[in-house]
Chain A
Amino acid sequence: MCTKWVQVDRCKPLLGTYVDIHLAVDVAENVNRDVLIAASETAFSRIQSVQDLMSFHDPESELSGINRDAFQHAVPISPSTHDVIKTALDISAASGGIYDISVAHALVQKGYLPRHAYAAGRSYVSADWTAIKLQARSIRFDANIMIDLGGIAKGYAVDAAFEGLLQMPIPFTQIIVNAGGDIRMLDWQDKDIVLRTPARWKRTRFVDYTMQNTALATSIPGHGSPSSRILDPISHTRAHTNRAHIKNWLGWHTQKSISIFADRCMIADALTKTMYLAPERTDLLERFNVCGAIVDINGRIEAI
């Protein structure tokens, strides 16, 4: 006898991308589809609240308030934003500044992030992450910097939605939250996923791979929305113009994607950027207990 599931699939435009939630419960548990839809609604509202707090694009977000005032005085900070910035600073410290959320000003200058009204007439500088002074309930900047939580907040939103679902008294057999490729999966062992490597000339590759942990994120610098471009925080140049971009046999610039499997999506997302900029830092994989996969333009996979 084959097992049947009651399941719900939903998708909403959030976090600047498509957020897809899949919920499944064994049919024997007698859970109504409406219950699952209500659960997914709660998960979406959690994601929405992370977006409301940490969006750089929204001038009313908590993050925008921090960017506006944290150089002048300490700004109170919510526990969620605190968690994300704390994790970002941990990764900055471990990677020696290869991962750095303070590149926002350079991203604005290059036109990858919007120039807000509050930033007009202010002379922001490009310092580094060490200027961020995070306290338990407040944050202050030592230099006139701006921070962008982009990908790491997206990972956090996925984690928040996922963990919220786990706390519900519903016996889920599967939960999958996928925010534009930042994926968190409950029953992940031996599950297949697809890694995508977009390239020029529509030569997009799709490669099957097996999930290695509960969370997965992938980065392909230079693709997707302009804000997803990765800037090298040390040289302030676009990542693909220096170390990570390779040339193929015709001399064309081609790309690789980096996927990281971790126990939290927030960690996975931040480390894709770090590993892209510093592929030699395999010690970081051990330090954060993650593994990864690199896919090149021809769909070849290299496990890291």
Chain B
Amino acid sequence: MDQRIVEQFRDAIGPEAVLTEPVQLVTYECDALPHLRSMPDVVLLPRSAADVQKIVRICDREGVPFVARGHGTGLSGGALPVAGGVVITLAKLNRVLEIDIPNRRVTVEPGVTNLEITRQVAPHGYYYAPDPSSQQVCSLGGNVAENSGGAHCLKYGFTVHHILAVEAVLPNGELVQIGSPLADAPGPDVLGLLVGSEGTLAVVTKVVVRILRKPESVQTLLAAFNSTSEAGAAVSEIIAAGIVPAAVEMMDAVAIEAAEAAVHPNFPPADTILIVELDGPSAEVAELFGIVEATCRNAGATRIEVAQDEAQRGRIWKGRKAAFAAMGRISPNYYVQDGVVPRTKLPEVMARIRQLAEREGIRIGNVFHAGDGNLHPLICYDERIEGQSALAERVAGEILIYCVEAGGSITGEHGVGADKKEFMPRMFSEDSLDVMQSVRDALDPKRLCNPGKVLPTPRLCGEVPGPYREHPIERAGLGERF
């Protein structure tokens, strides 16, 4: 990057907030999807919304692409840097600004972690509902970008249902307040558009979230089944009974093995386990829980464990939430996919996935939000074996196609990012994608705000999406990728 521009950044936010050394830049070349990598030219560490504004203004003026990053835990390459561009990390904007318990809202900077909000309001008996598995580290800014869900979104909805307002810097450098702590702000729901826009329309610098009263009672049950279809039938019965559990999670044998190895939740032996959690007023939970237990038993549960205390409940959830990363214990590499199918189509899609795994000779573990059909197939592979990375990627893509064919979606919560943009045409017509592009063009006409994400870009010569592959020249040590 032109040194003149780097100097502008240094003058604007201070030299210690501008990283240019390769040793520093390399650590930002990917988020939690490590097979997509790209070195940024500069990494910037603003400390305030004013800093962010200064940065974006410079980028706008000089035509520098920029990518916002929280704590880099995204699973779709949303924070993948753009060559020739900057990464704006919001990690230092990590203050909780205001806690308003009577009105059930908390104002935070985007670098505050999801779990930190709950920690802050827990002493008052409140919590922040969206709970992605990475909640101890993922940032609110990232949650807003991805419209993150989590296990409890079945009952409580996603991030977009819990955000009241944001402050953001638009790609032209303007600082705007979108949304309101008061209900019914007139006009189009631009906040609803921003949440889930994956950092392509603005850089969020402040978030006002809604907190909920901690439910009077929580009851968690773990049921072991001999097959996924039996477990699935149990879920259908529960929902048909008019019950909306707080969470319904399923893990298959491979995922159970990984979780056990990692965090020792002491799951009972099973082909598939079902975790059902009910929360709400004690009387309601007590009444409905009996129905849930009976339903599981009737569906063929071989063992049912009811968490007796908070510690046991914590153990069960720890096992579930560590499942992805825990795959690292039983496989050298793994690819976590994120797709959605209508709940009623789960058995058929699971069967297709099983056949796919057998056909390709690859191991696939499954963790999913059974209540809303959001699957997370965990595709195991070993990158040291020739062709395995490519195979894993291809299998992951095929699973997405099954999801779309079943009337589902290519992403339930991880986002499209860089990873899945080429699949967008399978879900949306060219016209629809074009209109989405025009939304982007309206707010970011220079195409600097996280370019190359969400919407498919025309292929440049030789540019192939997917895992980082060394060019033969690089392998021979004769050249470097810029």
The answer to whether A and B assemble together is no
